[in-house]
Amino acid sequence: MKKCVIFDLDGTLVHSLPDIAAAMNRSLKKYGLPVFEESAYKYKVGNGVLKLTERCVGEHKELYQQVLDAYRADYAEHNQVNSRAFGGVDGMLKALIEKGVHVCVLTNKDQRDAERVLGHYFPEVRFSVIRGRTEDMPLKPDPAGALAIAGQLGLESGDCWYVGDTSTDMKCGSAAGMETIGVLWGYRPREELTANGARHLVSEPEEIVELVTA
């Protein structure tokens, strides 16, 4: 049995799209830029706040920094309004920990936001490592963050699973030499996951426990 499961956050553990979309739309509106339907953000998120902002401001690059700053401030205050943990995820995380598996998170979300969101939605879950976006580590799909988590725990990459909902996650886990699981309750379709290296697909969180502990 592998000793560690590394999870993506947005779209995998937490349905955070409503608060991300609302905060970005308020920031765009503040500077007179067009806003987007919440569903459009399924394809704007996944590569961190810098890429999110770039995708949203489009050709209005002169407003990039202002929108980025506005979004960061807004989301820091409003990341627990309409987000929610996906059903069954809390129990799945606790079941893995009870079986002696390290439960970790690797996200392109800013580190402070990741800690706040996880602390709020999973207050009873003791994550072994939470690694969000920092200046000293490249973002996914670069595998550096996943490999750093394994190293921090004294594990080889082959000792780890990587779980996520986008091509970015599947590319990251595959490049790190980890066994990948794509979740079908997230923001991207089955076809994207399989085309980018998903070894397994799951429809319910408890299926992850079955795979990991088999």
pLDDT tens digits for range 139-184 = 999 999 999 999 999 999 999 999 999 999 999 999 999 999 999 9
Look at residue 212 and tell me whether its pLDDT is greater than 90: yes
Mean pLDDT of 21-25: 98
Go through the domains of the chain in sequence order and give each one's CATH number: 4-15+83-213 (3.40.50.1000), 17-77 (1.10.150.240)
Residue 164 CA to residue 21 CA, distance in Å, equals: 20
Cis, peptide link before residue 18, omega less than 30° from 0: no
Tokens representing residue 67 in the block: 């929108």
- Confidence label for 1 from pLDDT (cuts 50, 70 and 90): confident
Look at residue 37 and tell me whether its pLDDT is greater than 90: yes
Residue 18 CA to residue 79 CA, distance in Å, equals: 9
Look at residue 69 and tell me whether its pLDDT is greater than 90: yes
DSSP state string for 166-195:
SHHHHHHHHHTT-EEEEETTSSS-HHHHHH
Give the pLDDT score at 203.
98
Whether the Cβ atoms of residue 143 and residue 106 lie closer than 8 Å to each other: no
DSSP element (H, E) containing 67 = helix 64-77
**Helix count (H) and strand count (E) of the chain?**
9, 8
Look at residue 49 and tell me whether its pLDDT is greater than 90: yes
Computed over every residue of the chain, the mean pLDDT equals 97
pLDDT digits (tens, 9 = 90+) for 73-118: 999 999 999 999 999 999 999 999 999 999 999 999 999 999 999 9
